[in-house]
Chain A
């Protein structure tokens, strides 16, 4: 018994009969084969406490104790000391209980009085040795299992005869990667195929076919269904093995679990996508900010022009007044036969009127943003405006076409300002047709069309494409606006009219008034020629 050495073997004896315990103690002590050191206790509770305090190399356990009886005694000691070998002590007639205890994990049993103490000693030593071997085995099994769980690769071989798969063998590590054991693969020759993800099967089949044809094939990456239902990614490297005549006799393969790598790749891709979309959002915000900034700059410019204009206008009105009255006096009281003087005075008077018109336009433009809003039928406003320009229409031989839709929804309008808008647009149209032509004025309920986003963006109108709006269209048959001028037509003092004809404020005022009404104005060239101006205004909400 080399293994046990010369150290005393500490054994816990649990036995309610003090006399027989002492006797056993004495007899075991005398044995030459080993030095036993018996620690005795008569009750279960005391035994459990001793086991809790110190290790023993074996336990001799009588199942009938004052505080416990039968297999219950064994169960409690075994659960308290699972690694200590337990030898059950029984009476003469109790083999069946002892055997049941062995089934539950006892190492052996000794029938008191039947077998000699030498036998008991041997039983103890064997029990210790057996238990130790068991522990070693259990430990190595655990280590192996643990290693197996960590394994991410396994190899397999498919044996082929005449191009047909004869058998497959998988190394044990297949359990860790796929959840199936080597035995399961051996029992089911198509398990390797069934575990492949449905979508990846064509690629795997193609690879297998090429390998069977004896061609070297690049590794492929595909998904498999793990036995536990999860999906794993594997890298599958398979090569053909040939006999000395060059025939394929087997395929050898290596399956590597690359799930983690793919997961990281996907995670990286997701992060990248998130970054890309964040970047896109940022770029969009930047663009919107820039547009808003442009709008603000424009608005601020308009405001300062307006403030300045109002100040200048008041200052200029008094000198104009003096000129006007002076010219009037001279015209009435200068008795001269020189026609040129009368012409000059007439020109001067016209010049003063023109200057006054410019100033009035400026004041319109800078007028306070307060509107005198009333529920208004836009058709009435148009009729009134057209009546005011009646003379100009006739004088320029312009045919007026009115297509005013009846029963339009009421609009929240400042009647006077809206009349000004219509007059300005109509006057532009008239001045574009000095040789005569046709002026069309239309109203309709419409859906706001897809306009240039810039138009919607720049105005704070709150209108969106598809909104129901009342649309006013004023169309002429003139030469149209030069394309390069289209972007500037709303700028103050920008005019395409000959000197003296326009103030360059007409459309600026139109735009300002329409925007004050929460509407939009869109001026464009018609494909068939001429200019079309559209006003879009939201009906009153009820």
Chain B
């Protein structure tokens, strides 16, 4: 079975690195990190992810702007997006992930089980 490609975008490198380590340790995912919002489009073009984990609050181009650009693209708009944010509380979204403006999102801190569960629900296989 082909490993699912996950692009994780967060300005905090240690976070993206740990997501990569944990997801890849399962053997089911191939993960690419990106710490700059304005480089996401290039990464998507290069990596062709099956799902993008996207931090909302980032310096420079934030998650909302990145999402808008992806939505505007004829092919990339179909790539599932999951927002990751520290700005909302778990209770408000439920443990399996809620939706903001049609997008799934997870509240930090998120445990690996939750993360994987959410990826599996949203990923286009």
Q: Report which A residues bind B (CB closer than 8 A).
A: 313-314, 317-318, 320-326, 328-329, 332-333, 352, 356, 360, 363-364, 367, 416, 420
**Closest residue on chain A to residue B21 by CB atoms:** A329
Partner of B25, one of A317, A323, A333: A333
Q: Would you give 16 A-B contacts (Cβ < 8 Å), ordered by A?
A: A317-B86, A317-B108, A318-B15, A318-B86, A322-B14, A324-B109, A325-B15, A325-B19, A328-B22, A328-B112, A329-B22, A329-B25, A332-B22, A333-B25, A363-B89, A364-B89
Which A residue's beta carbon lies closest to that of B26? A332
A-side interface mostly: helix
Chain B contacts for A332, CB-based, 8 A:
22, 25
A322 lies within 8 A of B86 (CB): no
9 closest Cβ pairs, A-B complex = A317-B86, A325-B18, A321-B109, A321-B108, A320-B109, A324-B109, A317-B108, A314-B86, A322-B14
CA–CA, A356 to B109, complex, Å?
8
B91 contacts the other chain (Cβ, under 8 Å)?
A: yes
A321 touches B110 (CB 8 A): yes
Q: How far is A364 from B112 in the complex, measured between Cα atoms in Å?
A: 24
**Which B residues, 84 to 117, have Cβ-Cβ distances below 8 Å to chain A?**
86-87, 89-91, 108-112
Q: B112 touching A322 by the CB < 8 A rule?
A: no
Contact call B108/A416, Cβ cutoff below 8 A: no
Taken together as a complex, chains A and B put the C-alpha atoms of A352 and B112 apart, in Å, by 14
B87 touching A314, Cβ below 8 Å: yes
Contacting A321 at CB < 8 Å: which of B21, B25, B86, B90? B86
Closest to A417 in B: B91
Chain B residues whose C-beta falls within 8 Å of the C-beta of A420 in the assembled complex: 91
B12 within 8 A of A: yes
A364 to B92, CA, bound (A): 11
Q: A326 to B22: give the CA distance in the assembly, Å.
A: 8
Tell me, in angstroms, the Cα distance from A313 to B85 when the chains sit together: 12
B107 → A minimal CB distance (Å): 8
Interface of B is mostly: helix
In the complex, how many residue pairs between chain A and chain B have their CB atoms under 8 Å apart? 53
Q: Is the CB of A325 within 8 A of B86?
A: no
- Chain A residue numbers with a CB within 8 Å of B90 are 360
B25 CB, min distance to chain A CBs, angstroms: 6
Q: Say yes or no: B109 contacts A352, CB within 8 Å.
A: yes
CA distance A326 to B87 in the complex (A): 21
Pairwise interchain contact B89-A322, C-beta atoms closer than 8 A: no
Partner of A325, one of B22, B87, B89: B22
Q: Which of A324, A333, A363, A416 contacts B111 (CB 8 A)?
A: A324
Most buried by B among A317, A321, A333, A352: A321
Q: Which residues of A contact B112 (CB under 8 A)?
A: 325, 328
Q: With contacts A314-B87, A317-B109, A318-B15 known, what are 9 further pairs, Cβ within 8 A?
A: A318-B12, A318-B86, A320-B109, A321-B108, A322-B12, A324-B110, A325-B15, A325-B18, A325-B19
Cα–Cα distance between A332 and B23 once the two chains are bound (Å): 11
CB of A312, distance to nearest CB on chain B (Å): 11
Closest residue of chain B to A360 (Cβ to Cβ) is B89
- Closest chain A residue to B22, Cβ basis: A329
Interface string of B65-92 (1 = CB under 8 A from A): 0000000000000000000001101110
Produce 1/0 per residue, B8-22, CB < 8 A to A.
000010110011011
CB B22 to nearest CB in A, in angstroms, measures 5
Q: Which of B15, B87, B91 contacts A322 (CB 8 A)?
A: B15
Pair A318/B18 contact, Cβ less than 8 Å:
no
Q: Which residues of B contact A324 (CB under 8 A)?
A: 109-111
Residue of A at shortest CB range from B84? Answer: A321
Which residues of chain A have C-beta atoms less than 8 A from B109's C-beta? 317, 320-321, 323-324, 352, 356
Say how far A334's CB is from chain B's closest CB, in angstroms: 11
CB distance from A440 to the nearest CB of B (A): 27
Considering the chains assembled together, what is the distance between the CA atoms of A324 and B25 in angstroms?
15
